[in-house]
Amino acid sequence: MSRAYPLTYCTNIHPGDGWADVMLNLEDHVPAARRACSPDAPFPLGLRLSARAADELDDAAIDAFSRWCDEHECYVLMVNGFPYGVFHGAAVKERAYLPDWRDARRVAYTKRLADILARWSPREALTSISTVPVAFREGFDAADWPTVRAHLVDVLAHFARVRDRGGPWIRLAIEPEPHCVIERTAEALAFFERMRFPASLTEHIGLCFDCCHQAVEFESPAQSLAQIAGAGIAIARVQVSSALRASGAAVAQLLAFDEPTYLHQAVLQRRDGELLRFADLPGLARWLERGETPEECRVHFHVPIFLERIGGVDTTRFFLEEALPRIPAGTPLEVETYSFGVLPAALRLDSLGASIARELDWVKGTLDAAHSRH
């Protein structure tokens, strides 16, 4: 049954931002992943391209990569256009969202990704480019919405022209994320209501449903997916990812995962049910110093999806187990454990290659087990 879902991993787990780095990582990891997880069929790629890599790709390199895919029995299923710049080995934090949809550089970058993807995707194929959820919450103002809408309409019109010329059907996949302008399902629905995109362009936009992000928000997989479907919003892809969680006094153990590269947004549930949101773990630490014992807390830290517990705390694997069987068949699934390199060393259970294969196998097994029960 799992073959009904195109399944891959996102190459944003690999360091390096230039095109040479991308190729080196693909050559090091993709052949083994294909042999382990897709020995009898071409292996789909969830390709992360930074702005630098996209600019370095000339016509010859684009054609050469097409040949490489043919030789290695792979194809580009979709592109991650969320991180614009450096994503590993430096303090990324809130810069991961820059430039955001208020900035013309985000427009030019996304159009460039579409033009490249059009060269790699078969005519009339359905594919997607994931992107930031408008902007980071701090510093965004209601007065920014007209600029955001104009930029998005510009990009969607570009996608429509690509399709009119016989290229693939590309969707922009907005990815809700904690502490951003769009984080909860209700905010995603309100975004589409606010934007009221022209009817001719609505087929070119949808959501990237990141399971880690929505689990951190204490959302119900069944309710969230039903609300999205009821609003007629397409899920362009599902990112199969898992977060950290702890209850009661154990919440303090989550602070051990604070590290300098990425934001680790936290959502804390008080004993009375109120949800408190923190942009990063230091904010959670300051709240805990007050001495109040929380009910539960969840933290945005992409941990290996097959683990139910890690480093003395739990994970949100349960969210994946509830969500995956509810995903419509045909929806691309993309494992995205990009934080592997910043896990505490004692918790890195496998090599990166072994972890990729183990995660993809876990998704297949979970889907097969769920569907065999029905």
Query: For the domain that residue 53 is a member of, what is the CATH number?
Result: 3.20.20.150
- pLDDT by residue (tens digit) across 319-328? 999 999 999 9
Question: CA–CA separation, 147 vs 46, rounded Å?
Answer: 29
Query: CA 263 → CA 95, 96, 283, 304, 323, distances in Å?
Result: 9, 9, 11, 18, 24
Question: CA–CA separation, 204 vs 298, rounded Å?
Answer: 32
Please give the pLDDT value at position 1. 40
Q: Is the dihedral of CA 288, 218, 239, 195 positive or negative?
A: negative
Q: List strand residue ranges (DSSP E) for 211-356, in order.
A: 235-240, 242-247, 266-269, 275-278, 296-303, 309-310, 313-315, 333-335
Question: CA–CA separation, 315 vs 96, rounded Å?
Answer: 24
Question: CA–CA separation, 156 vs 226, rounded Å?
Answer: 25
Q: Which residues are CB-neighbours of 231 under 8 A, at least 6 positions away?
A: 189, 192
Helices in the chain by DSSP H: which ranges? 19-37, 51-56, 59-71, 104-120, 145-164, 185-195, 211-216, 221-230, 281-288, 317-323, 352-372
Q: How many CA atoms lie within 13 A of 84 on its CB side?
A: 21
> What is the count of structural domains for the chain?
1
Bridge pairing between strands 7-9 and 333-335:
parallel
Residue ranges of the chain with per-residue pLDDT less than 70? 1-3, 346-350, 373-374
Please give the pLDDT value at position 4. 83
Quote the pTM value. 0.96
Please give the pLDDT value at position 88. 85
* Coil, helix or strand at residue 58: coil
Q: Is residue 248 part of a domain?
A: no
Q: Is residue 274 part of a domain?
A: no
Please give the pLDDT value at position 151. 98
Q: Is residue 269 part of a domain?
A: no
Q: Which residues are CB-neighbours of 201 under 8 A, at least 6 positions away?
A: 153, 156, 157, 159, 160
Q: Is residue 329 part of a domain?
A: yes
16 alpha carbon, distance to own chain's centre: 18
Q: Which residues are CB-neighbours of 287 under 8 A, at least 6 positions away?
A: 268, 276, 278
Q: Is residue 284 part of a domain?
A: no
Q: Is residue 302 part of a domain?
A: no
Q: Is residue 21 part of a domain?
A: yes
- pLDDT by residue (tens digit) across 212-247? 999 999 999 999 999 999 999 999 999 999 999 999
Q: Which domain holds residue 141?
A: 2-242+313-372
Q: Is residue 64 part of a domain?
A: yes
